Structure 1
Amino acid sequence: MNSLAAQQPEPAGLERMRGMIHYQRNNFAAANLAFEKAILQDGNDLLATQMRGVTLYRMGQPAAAIPFLERANSPIASVNADGTYVLAVCYLDVHRYDDARRIFAQQYKISADSAASYLFMGRMLLRRDHPAESEQMARKALQIEPGLPLAHLLLGQLALSRSNAAAAVAEFEAERTINPMNGEVYERLGDAYLRALRYEDAQQSLNCALLLEPNSTGPYILLGQVLLKRDDALTALNYLLRAERMDSSNHLIHLLLGQAFRALGRKEDATREYKMAESIQNAGENQK
């Protein structure tokens, strides 16, 4: 490639290719320089333009990335959806929420002013760790369409993140009314009841979750916690052993198994599980 670069004039597309190689190697500073040269050589090279925007985003410069992504978005959006997504995320990061909502709506083929569009923004903002703005979007979605599925679910998640169990229960109960066949709703509601110390309600809700989500470990783990709180270690053990068979690398499951074994007087089994939980947790921290 260097020998080609020495040719005068330099072959068309060479700097873009160099930039792609650097980008794939996560060498973003070099990729950015190569894409900059490619654009100087050919101002109509929209792929180089888009990739420079994506590269700047990966370098933590969303505001600088936006003009390049905007320029390339419309002509080649159908060819490279990644650039469109990155443009929307850049808008989020610089708090241009209306623009982000418009881009996401285009991607998902929904009206930008619909309740679904606002709810989608709420979920994306929560993922980007903007809980206050996420709540605003979810409430706007419900204002437009009060019966919108999953909006109360998001509000309940936000309430749980603030450790407001009572508010979470109210939101999840509202979601259950709208969306009674969604197993996640019962799992989240059971979690909220557990945190609100409503153990009987939690057990009932989590049993409903199990019927709808038999292959999910979440309800089994939560039922184990609830039953330990209700001093039923033997039944808790059965649920937790089922969860362990489904996900043996979950440190919380082993921690709860240790508690169940200890409550049943099985000290050696309890010690083994506590050690396993500690080992898994330490291994996870070492990988960070």
Structure 2
Amino acid sequence: GQYAAAEAAYQDVVRLDANNLNAFLGLGATQFRQERYGDALVAYERAQALAPNNLQIDGFLGSTLLQLGRYPEAIEIFERVTARTPNNLNAYINLGTALLNVGRDDEAFVAFDRVERLTSDDGQLLFDLGQLLEERGDLERSNRYYRRASNLNNSAELQLLIGQSLLRNDDPLYAILALREAISLNPGSPDAHVLLAEALQAQNRRDEAIAELELARTLYETQGQPDKAAELSERIEALN
């Protein structure tokens, strides 16, 4: 593919010029994208030797170490990077991720809180952080990021995912808000109506839940999905 071809070109350059910083950076980047993290690490280490005080190269090295599971080394690098560039969003994300993986959760949350303060309009980023924390079992913090992401985002697709996540994490009230927003952005989404019905059921709002299921059933029928419409008919009958 294109990365393999680019890698071969960079290999040719570094064979001719062992001090070509940009070639080593390009080589590391192409190997990283091919998920050959061990090879990428070698290239980035060579680049670092050529430019030892370059924070961008430190970031590349840290990200590669993170992928290799060498968390203590990654932490050391990202602590150095964040100390010198306190507004470096990606460095704080990577630092928090590495800290989580060595069980230093409190320090990780400090890093993630810094990310939240730096992020003024990136709902997708906060959603991704919420997922990371949900995977760790920290549902309270996870839901906080999901709620913030919902407030920032105007994507129907992401609002649907946020609502689904909040519902899964036993936060039906905020799930309802996110799902209503998803529906306002994309009224023709039957899946959003189904999830909204489930969130309403979780709050014992049966009549509203039935109304949402009926809307979803109609949408499935008009969109040529009779099996899903029939399934909803059974659910509606069970609720009546």
TM-score, structure 2 normalization: 0.54
Note the 1:1-288 alignment, pairs <5 A.
24=2, 26=4, 31=8, 35=11, 38-57=13-32, 58=34, 59-61=36-38, 62-71=40-49, 86-93=60-67, 94-95=70-71, 96-100=74-78, 112-114=85-87, 116=89, 119-121=92-94, 125=97, 136-142=107-113, 156-162=130-136, 165=139, 168-169=142-143, 171-172=144-145, 176=148, 181-183=151-153, 190-191=163-164, 194-195=167-168, 199=172, 201=173, 204-206=176-178, 209-210=181-182, 214-215=185-186, 219-220=192-193, 222-226=195-199, 232-239=209-216, 257=229, 259-264=231-236
Structure 1 unaligned blocks of 5 or more? 1-22, 266-288
Distance 1:122 1:188 in 2: 26
Distance 2:51 2:220 in 1: 45
1 CA distance for matches of 2:221 and 2:101? 34
Structure-1 separation of matches of 2:231 and 2:20: 62
Normalising by the residue count of structure 1, what TM-score does the alignment of the two structures yield? Answer: 0.47
Alpha-carbon offset, residue 223 of structure 1: 1.2
> Could you say which structure has the larger radius of gyration?
1
* One-letter amino acid of the counterpart of residue 41, structure 1: L
**Alpha carbon RMSD of aligned pairs, Å?**
5.5
Change in CA separation of 1:63 and 1:115 when aligned onto 2, cut-off 3 Å: closer
| Greater relative CO, 1 or 2 (CA 8 Å, sep 6+) | 2
Runs of 5+ in structure 2 lacking a partner? none
Q: Secondary structure at the match of 2:185?
A: coil
Larger fraction in helix = 2
Q: What amino acid sits opposite 2:167 in the alignment?
A: L
Q: CA deviation digits over 1:47-104, x for unaligned, max 9?
A: 4333333354433314323223425679x99xxx9x887545214334323434666x
2:85 aligned counterpart, secondary structure:
coil
The separation in 1 between residues aligned to 2:3 and 2:111, in whole angstroms, is 42
Instruction: Tell me the distance in 2 between the aligned counterparts of 1:101 and 1:38.
Output: 33
